[in-house]
Amino acid sequence: MSNVVNKPANKKKRVVIGMSGGVDSSVSAWLLKEQGYEVIGLFMKNWEDDDDSEYCSTRQDWIDAVSVADVVGVDIEAVNFASEYKDRVFAEFLREYQAGRTPNPDVLCNAEIKFKAFLDHAIHLGADMIATGHYARVREITSGVNAGQVQLLKAIDASKDQSYFLHRLNQAQLSKTLFPLGEIHKTEVRKIAEQLKLPNASKKDSTGICFIGERPFREFLNRYLSYQPGPMKTDDGTIVGEHVGLSFYTLGQRKGIGIGGMKSHKNPDGTSDAWYVARKDVANNTLYIVQGHDHPWLLSSSLQAGQMSWVAGSPPEVELLSAKTRYRQADVRCAQRTDSDSFSLVFDTPQWAITPGQSAVLYQGDVCLGGGIINCSGVD
């Protein structure tokens, strides 16, 4: 028997919203209902390897989502995307780490699960649109040569903007998507939750990678990756220790390197500048660390990125734009040049710890144009 839901004629638009048990998606569901939509909640279960462990909050999140749905007055169901997640997101995450890069699984999860597997399932449920609690905006161009095209914009609340994580979404996905929180501030979202007496009104925002949660990161990776200890060297080639496996370090990392204040590298007054991970030589299994936040090895004025994805379906024709090479970074002015399978960026000012595997995302004002995965930074 098919579970496709037939919509009665002249019925209000049906929106299927991803409800995670958090305050953002909960308030989003209420806002949509207030705007006159028929709202159905969908709770996504994307991870089940150890969902009974102390670090996995899936069970409590489901309880919260059901409780909120009851208060708001929407139906909710759970759907299991764990196998799709493992194939499309987690496998790529492990491949990147094994290659010595630092991936951002949230970017891939949005493109492959929340706006693909979830969208397909919602359409099957008879949805006209889907919605999530992301802080971003969607706008349709209504005139000119690009009329009908959909743009991805930054959220009004700049401190919460999540367009960086959504830059791989395409026209088909965005044209079916609503972001109810795009026009309001997080403080307002909390106020609405309190006024509605939602059971999760004071629940803290989730942090970290969705499937790792609050668990110790190195311990988690240990279970899935093969790794080989190797030399840890300074910029002059001096061996100062041993790393536990290149996968466990990211460029710019300061904590957890495993070396103390070495006497030979102290300042005249006895103090010692912090050490940072600066380079990973995968071929020789060598980790390079440098002293001082502004060491030349940590600064670069250019990068090259592949695996391009453009919101409009084609690369931007404008050369002078701005970009982010990490979430929460202020936009940086840059010149971009696109080739057939990659693009390069040259920044007005040197950027700190540009990290292979992370996303370089391009903007023109508030409009997110898309981006790619960083392959390497230029060495200046």
Tell me which residues are annotated as active site.
109, 210
- In the chain, the amino acid numbered 155 is A
How many other C-beta atoms can be found within 10 angstroms of the C-beta atom of residue 144?
Answer: 7
> Amino acid identity, residue 309?
S
- Distance, CA of 86 to CA of 358 (rounded, Å): 20
User: Angle at the Cα of 334 (from 329 to 339), degrees rounded to 5?
Assistant: 115
Residue ranges in 73-133 assigned as alpha helix (H): 82-85, 91-98, 105-109, 118-124
* CB distance 33 to 72 below 8 Å: yes
For residue 150, what are the β-bridge partners? 140
Q: How many whole angstroms separate alpha carbon 92 and alpha carbon 98?
A: 10
Burial degree of 155 (CB within 10 A; 0-12, 13-18, 19+): buried
Task: Read off the tokens for 104.
Answer: 């951002």
Beta strands in the chain (DSSP E): 14-18, 38-45, 75-80, 129-131, 136-140, 150-154, 177-178, 230-233, 239-243, 275-281, 286-291, 299-310, 320-324, 332-338, 343-352, 359-364, 367-377
The C-alpha atoms of residue 66 and residue 69 are separated, in whole angstroms, by 5
The DSSP symbol for 92 reads: H
Q: Tell me the helices (H) and strands (E) count for the chain, helix number first.
A: 9, 17
Widest distance between CA atoms in the chain? 80
Q: What is the rounded CA–CA span in Å between residue 344 and residue 364? A: 16
